[in-house]
Amino acid sequence: MDEFFDLPTLIVIAIAVFVLFRLRSVLGTRTGTERPPVERRKPADPVAKDDVVVPMQPRGTAAPELDDDRRNRKLEAEIEQFARSDAELATGLRAVAEVDPTFTPKSFLEGAKQAYEMIVTAYASGDRATLKNLLEKDVFDGFQSAIAEREAAGQTVDFTFVGLPKVEFSDAEYDRKNVLVTIRFHAEVVSATRDKAGTLVEGNADQVQTIADEWTFQRNPKSRDPNWKVVTTSQLD
């Protein structure tokens, strides 16, 4: 018994008791009522979509009729700007906007510019898939036929779209079924057509040329498809 309670043994026992006490004070004890680890940290409330998107109007400060009034004034200002004092064109643009609430002259003109560049570039490269999505069937068939003739002759086109220095509305109307908007494009391009041997047969690879076209875009305002398609094309002198 005296050997069991010698001084070194008592020191070791004292140290062990001290360590256990410190571990208990730091880690605590389980009572059986603790929440699982995933519940201990409450997740943040999901961010509402309205808080992500910056509202164009402060909530609750503008009545719907005032919003409509602002939109109408903005639309009328755009019509006056793009109609260029042409009363008949202004009337046509108003008719289109009345049956197609998505239409505004400014946004339409920007979309028409993009469509024009895509179409003339796709035509030069023979990209039928792009043309098919943007052209009405009869117009696509005409472009497709010209591409096929060019390919059969072994011709290729080196084409660079430079820009559109002038784009303007020419006509607009609603024919009780479709809305139709006609645009005049004055484009600058570099185009050179070569035969199988690489000989230049048309155009100039080192010179910018100006081309002028008048295209009509059409859409059924009752359709769920928001896309416009080109239904007529003509080259201006």
Q: Quick one: pLDDT at residue 88?
A: 98
Angle at 224 between CA 171 and CA 219, to 5 degrees: 15
**What domains lie within the chain, and their CATH numbers?**
64-235 (3.10.450.240)
Q: Quick one: pLDDT at residue 90?
A: 98
Distance of alpha carbon 216 from alpha carbon 231, whole angstroms? 6
Closest by Cα among 220, 5, 184, 235 to 100: 220
Q: Quick one: pLDDT at residue 43?
A: 41
In order along its 237 residues, the chain shows pLDDT tens digits of 444 455 555 555 555 555 444 444 433 444 343 334 333 334 444 433 333 222 223 344 444 555 889 999 999 999 999 999 999 999 999 999 999 999 999 999 999 999 999 999 999 999 999 999 999 999 999 999 999 999 999 999 999 999 999 999 999 999 999 999 999 999 999 999 999 999 999 999 999 999 999 999 999 999 999 899 999 999 997
CA 220 centroid distance within chain: 21
Whether 159 and 123 have beta carbons less than 8 Å apart is answered as no
Q: Quick one: pLDDT at residue 13?
A: 58
Distance of alpha carbon 109 from alpha carbon 169, whole angstroms? 8
pTM of the entire predicted model: 0.71
Q: How crowded is the C-beta side of 129, counted as CA atoms within 13 Å?
A: 0
Angle at 212 between CA 206 and CA 218, to 5 degrees: 130
